[in-house]
Amino acid sequence: MADFSDQFQRFIFEHGNIRGERVMLDASSREALGKRDYPAPVAQMLGESLAAVVLMSATLKFEGLLSLQARGSGSVSLLMAESNHQRQIRGLAHSEPEVGPGTLAEHLGDGRLAITIEPRHGQRYQGVVPLEDETLSQCLESYFERSEQLATAIILASDGARAGGLLLQRLPGESAPDGDFWNRLTLQARTVTADELLLLDAETLLRRLFPEDAVRLYPPEPVVFACSCSRERTAQALEALGEEDCIALLDEQGVISVDCQFCHHHYEFDRQDVTVLFQQPPLH
């Protein structure tokens, strides 16, 4: 069961065509981050990434998955986080054993940020932006501006265990808010502190940030850590590797061992498993 703090909530401003989202992660982010011994700056960036994909997955109107992947040539080579339409999250990072303080751009070096939307039934979509900004929040705002043409404010925080986030988005249309209203709301939103993002429930936070505005807050939705790995999916990966290579691994090791990078679940396939795998019709 999700911790009370593991929740996502939508809200709208009654007198302007602006929508918002609030996410708090505690047990779910601790479980995702606890799978590896990450350096503190890496755990913080991964925590922010987990909060970000929950906020962005609110756009999914179908069964599917949204993933964030940042790759670079610096001390951190990979940041990856996923959230599906049920608010189930997982994530991982690859880095050097020791990573000091620095910005996202400094840690990842010359890199890029990819946002991928994968419907269970339908066409896959991916948007890519260069990692030119100092923070993940700024990179994601650039993504929305370039890929979606939507003015968006995103504020993220993580202490390496918990994570939190706030998103405001100015929607198009005849009832679009005037620029002054949007600018005032985003300025007020950016006064939020990391502690407030990590500790305050949505109602308290919105009342603190927007005391003069009528805000309609929708019921909370739970967020949980969940890994989509399975023995069947692992078998599909072995099938893609090919029978010859699988037999070679068995001859060398006696058994094929596979660990999920996200949850560290261990799978083993012996010679009989591999024989059955390649005798039956393809799994995909």
The DSSP H or E segment spanning 90 is strand 88-95
For 231-279, CATH number out of 1.20.120.530, 3.40.50.1100, 3.40.50.920, 3.90.1280.10 equals 3.90.1280.10
Residue-by-residue pLDDT tens, the chain, 284 positions: 334 589 999 999 988 889 999 999 999 999 999 888 899 999 999 999 999 999 999 877 778 899 999 999 899 999 999 999 999 999 999 998 898 898 898 999 888 999 999 988 888 889 888 888 889 999 999 999 888 788 999 999 999 999 999 999 998 765 556 778 999 999 999 999 999 999 999 999 999 999 999 999 999 999 999 887 778 888 888 888 888 888 888 888 888 888 777 777 788 888 888 888 888 665 55
**Which contiguous run of DSSP H or E holds residue 89?**
strand 88-95
Question: pTM for the full model?
Answer: 0.86
Handedness of CA 58, 59, 65, 66 (dihedral sign): negative
State the CATH architecture for 7-225: 3-Layer(bab) Sandwich (3.55)
Cβ-contact 46, 92 below 8 angstroms? yes
Q: Whose CA is closest to 158, among 51, 82, 10?
A: 51
Domain locations along the chain: 7-225, 231-279
